[in-house]
Amino acid sequence: MHFARLLHLVDSAIPTGSFAYSSGLESSISLGFIRDDAGLRNYLYAYLQQAASLEIPFVNSCFLLDAEAVWGGQRLTQQRLRATEMAAEYDAQLLVPALHRASAVQGRTWLKLLAGFYPEAGIERITQWFAAGDIPPHFTLALGLGLRAAGYALPETCTLYLHMLLRDQLSAAIRLGLLGPLAGHRLQHDFYVVFEHILAAQVGKHYGEATRSAFMLDVAQVLHEDIYSKLFQN
């Protein structure tokens, strides 16, 4: 049953809003950074590497928090202070305004969904903590904190996260006409091979060790708003 519920959380029908965004893929194509199949593969690998090096340390840190010390009351504890510092650091990392807005919208939706799926997990306390501190509920933090509260383990949460990112990117590539559905799903199947070593490089890292590694992707994300016509948001 636990595995079945995990599969449900990665179902593309779950309304988290991720399919409205390309996260730099559309602008990368428009700017000529991706020209062929090899370019798409290189892009996807760089995208996953940056997602892992920048996001997974924050997910790791979400699982290190003492939930009761953070959500259990109003008293300022060391754990509560650490959680606030982590959230502020993540907020500062999102330099592209469109990505910042999208992340908060998706995080808010994700927590709402989890609260409905797992009423016994106390997800509302996480939502209230974000609101009380006027902290944007960014998706990466909402995913890590929410799935930990729902009883999922760190390794499966990290794998779930990379899967969702890869799925959304290839869905965007298919809708942009860069490749067909069969080729897209074959490429998704092939890319699962690299998950293990990408995630292994982030084991034990906390949010203070988060790094960026794909600077051309950052450029594409910044310039997304300048595209003449767009199918996706950034």
CATH number at residue 113: 1.10.4190
- Contact assessment for residue 115 and residue 123, using Cβ atoms and an 8 Å cutoff: yes
In total, how many domains does the chain have? 1
Q: What is the pLDDT of residue 76?
A: 59
78: tokens are 């060391």
Q: What is the pLDDT of residue 58?
A: 97
* Degrees to nearest 5, angle at CA 26 with 171 and 231: 75
Q: What is the pLDDT of residue 80?
A: 80
Q: What is the pLDDT of residue 90?
A: 95
Residue 1 within any structural domain of the chain: no
Residue corresponding to tokens 């902290």: 135
Residue 7 within any structural domain of the chain: no
14: tokens are 């779950």
Measure the CA–CA gap between 178 and 38, rounded to whole angstroms. 12
Residue range(s) defining the domain that contains residue 202: 27-226
Residue 59 within any structural domain of the chain: yes
Residue 13 within any structural domain of the chain: no
Residue 31 within any structural domain of the chain: yes
Residue 10 within any structural domain of the chain: no
Q: What is the pLDDT of residue 21?
A: 84
Q: What is the pLDDT of residue 75?
A: 59
Instruction: Extract the residue ranges of the chain whose pLDDT is less than 50.
Output: none
Q: What is the pLDDT of residue 186?
A: 95
200 phi, psi to nearest 5 deg = -60, -35
Half-sphere exposure of 45 (CA within 13 A, CB side): 10
